[in-house]
Amino acid sequence: MTYEQALADAGSAFLLKKKLESKELHKLTRGAYSKIEHPDPLVLAHVLYPEAVITMDSALYAHDLTDVIPDEVHLATSRSSTRIARPGYRQYFTEDALLTPGTMDVERDGGTARMYNRERMLVEVMRRQASLPLDYYKEVISSYRKIADELDIALVEDYMALFKKNDFMFDILQREVL
């Protein structure tokens, strides 16, 4: 929770300080508090950066599409956002029109995290194919192949249509996923 939420929950600054001393509440970092000592990093990212969307390695791991645990929390933000200087976060600047399609709120241990759905993540993986390590890319595509029946392909195509030069993504979808 944010400082304001923690303050409202405690009732006053004095009571907030008492809760922190008694370990009933934990200060995680500046402006972030939790009743859990070690909350989910994706929930913490959502509290710290509510306008950001969890993407790439973090979202792929959260959707069980890879078993590689990410070293950093990957966040997509608006191009007009300030740079995230906090260590442990990797930021992807995105056009405002492309930031929200495919977002969903996911209940995680200790709260809610905002991330892209599996269909949008497939589009992101295809877009960034050249920058991903080959073995990682193959693992993720293999995972998508296994769940191809569960995917909403029309939704994937709608997301692909949002991007320029999307012909190569249609080719990858047909050749490697379906």
38 against 59, higher pLDDT: 59
Strands 53-54 and 32-34, by their bridges, are unpaired
Task: Please count the residues of the chain.
Answer: 178
Per DSSP (E only), the strands in the chain are 26-29, 32-34, 53-54, 73-78, 89-94, 103-108, 111-116
Indicate the SS3 state at residue 98: helix
**17-43: average pLDDT:** 88
The predicted-structure confidence for 20-32, as pLDDT tens digits, reads as follows 999 898 898 888 8
Q: Taking Cα atoms as reference points, which of 59, 53, 14, 8 lies closest to residue 33? A: 8
In the numeric block, which tokens belong to residue 148? Answer: 């191809």
Indicate the SS3 state at residue 29: strand
Indicate the SS3 state at residue 108: strand
Domain segments of the chain as ranges: 3-34, 41-177
- The strand pairing partners of 75, in sequence order, are 54, 91
Q: What is the pTM of this model?
A: 0.85
Q: Which residues contact 28 (CB under 8 A, 6 or more apart)?
A: 34, 39, 44
Percent of residues, the chain, with pLDDT higher than 70: 100
The predicted-structure confidence for 135-154, as pLDDT tens digits, reads as follows 999 999 999 999 999 999 99
